[in-house]
Amino acid sequence: MSNGETSRFVRLHVELVMEVTDADRLTGAAVDHIKGEAAVPEDERRQSLETVRDDPAEALAHLIDPFDLVTGVPGTELAQASWSSEEMTDYDPDAEWDAAEWDLAEDAEGED
């Protein structure tokens, strides 16, 4: 902040690209996770199961929880979190990483 004040809130941008090496194993883990959520209403559980069985990206999203990523960070408390997943058909794992291609500041503008 330019006026000398500091905010106690910090937006942390994390972008991960994960390779699905075993879609069946990933889907199975997501299905087990969903079935183990006792507080989820049955109609929501049924919809979630259908979604993760159809899309590995959705299966991954059911297994990754931002809260779990930051619970051990001393002196902090998670105020808000959102995340999404998508299949990347145009990703080239051999290409050199360029931060300009992943314009996180631009992506974040539409999230608030």
- In whole angstroms, give the CA distance from residue 73 to residue 14: 15
- In whole angstroms, give the CA distance from residue 77 to residue 87: 30
- In whole angstroms, give the CA distance from residue 60 to residue 25: 11
Please list, in sequence order, all residues whose beta carbon lies within 8 angstroms of the beta carbon of residue 29, skipping any fewer than 6 positions away.
59, 63
Enter the pTM of the model: 0.68
Please state the φ and ψ torsions of residue 106, each to the nearest 5 degrees.
-70, -40
Indicate the domain borders of the chain: 23-109
pLDDT for position 74: 94
- Tell me how many helices (H) and strands (E) the chain has: 5, 0
Digit-coded pLDDT (tens) for 11-42 = 888 888 889 999 999 999 999 999 999 999 99
On whether the CB atoms of residues 59 and 52 are closer than 8 A, the answer is yes
Average pLDDT, integer, range 37-64: 93
